[in-house]
Amino acid sequence: MAKRFARALAASCLFPLIPAAQAADLPDYQSNSDWFTDGASRVESRAAESRSDVTAKNVILFVGDGMGISTLTAARILEGQLRGEDGEENALSFEEFPHSALIKTYNTNQQTSDSAGTMTAMMTGVKTRAGVINVDEEALRADCAGSQGRELNTFLELMESRGRSTGIVSTARITHATPAATYARSPERDWEYSADGDCTDIAAQLVELEVGDGLDVILGGGRRNFITADDGGKREDGRDLTAEWLQRYDGEQQAVYLQSGAELAALDPASTDKLLGLFTSSHMSYDADRVAKGADEPSIAEMTTAAIDLLQKNDDGYFLMVESGRIDHGHHAGNAYSALHDAIAFSDAVRAATEKVDLKETLILVTADHSHVLTIAGYPTRGNPILGKMITNDASGAPQAEAGAAADGLPYTTLSYANGLGYADRGDETDADLRYNLAADTGRVDLSAVDTAAPGFHQEALVPLGSESHAGEDISLHATGAGSRLVQGTLEQSAVFHLMVGATGLSVTAE
């Protein structure tokens, strides 16, 4: 069945006008928001300097959740060292992109942000509060009634309403804050399988999405939020949303529901119109854990290429959002090993996508939603293992035989956290989510006999917290392909929406 759509008018300006019949795409309070108009103005000024007749038919937005600058640096070094190099001279795939910018990540009510508010900014062009998804800053968190009439529409919905195909990929639950912000509206990010008042939970919003004919590709974790408690899920309303999703397309399009990596590997994209893959009950495995334990889950690169295979069948183009959610979770656990290996897997996914698409008609953006308090410190010699203990040079420039010591006489690692659960040593354990209690003595630990490069090592932390926190500094945005020259300077996070609109020439206003 042909996708239902209305074509936008061909135009030469950055934000072309559309017929009044399509005026409902963005509510006035969204397009008149100061965040929105400022972002549009800034992108337009950049576009005036690099105007081109070429517009992007496709957009792929990669989001490394929690992938701050220190994470990029450490992951870059680790990837090189895994190949036997010093590491510092290495570059992750997207660090080779020709255009980049810095992005300011604060929420309207917080100096250090959360994923719900930051992804809302990227998807709608409007900054908002922490904890809310695609409702503006006038709505309070968890206030269902107060959020009504304050909902924001997303770039994914704009693409879907204009006949483009749409997809989301995540290693987190597909209803978690970052992927949810592409399609849902909720004053509470935690309403993944149930909601208060007249609000609809996020999972139900996904399968009921009315724009166009709904999402074309959905791949990630979080099966429990779609099925009933009797079937091992979280839903208490008796609804099996996976069955409802299949029923929605029955007799009209070929819809496929998958639960394993093997099933995804065997998929025939040519005979598939709609694809839903929920590979785990909650979040997908850390990449190191997936490999070590042989989990029947696809890698983020495999999900990305499968999504592109299906989406690119639409000659009118597509939008794909790919999130590496477990980078963030590894950091929250205070386990740099898991966070960095997931960042490397994320880089592999970006490389796979870049090699698969035509960059003359595809814009690829790679960014983060926020940073983390991972630090790279001391004066280790070049090539020192990034997950190892700090080793300095002697007077001749040669590495010291013994690890460098802090003022208390104890060795320390190059990587540490400003806060969090702190030191733990689980040896070869790759599941960073296994919880542990803060030691009663929060002082330094003698690491002399500890293998700090092992998967189960959790870095020391300065301030004891039950979970390591986000950080508030700027994050990076990397771009290649059609329209990528618009990416430059230091931008508000809400400008990412306008970069995508500017590159595609999508209509967002009415005459």
The CA R_g of the chain, rounded to the nearest whole Å, is 23
Give the helix ranges, DSSP H, for 361-440. none
Residue keyed to tokens 């790919």: 322
Question: Edge-to-edge strand order for the sheet containing 318-324?
Answer: 255-258, 274-278, 217-221, 165-173, 318-324, 58-64, 362-368, 475-481, 99-104, 490-492
Nearest residue to 34 via CA among 509, 349, 495, 490: 495
- d(Cα 359, Cα 345) in Å, to the nearest integer? 22
User: What is the 3-class SS of 386-397, one letter each residue?
Assistant: CCCECCCECCCC
Active-site residue (options: 115, 165, 347, 484)? 115
- d(Cα 310, Cα 231) in Å, to the nearest integer? 30
What are the DSSP E strand ranges found in 184-264? 217-221, 255-258
Name the phi and psi angles at 49, rounded to 5. -90, -15
Q: Do 366 and 478 touch, CB atoms closer than 8 A?
A: yes
15-30 CB burial, b ≥16 within 10 A, e <16? bebbeeebeebbbeeb
Both ends of the chain: CA-CA distance in Å? Answer: 31
What are the DSSP E strand ranges found in 152-232? 165-173, 217-221
Three-state secondary-structure class, residue 372: strand
- Note if 324 is an active site residue: no
**DSSP secondary structure of 469-480:** PEE-S-EEEEEE
Residues annotated catalytic, as ranges: 115
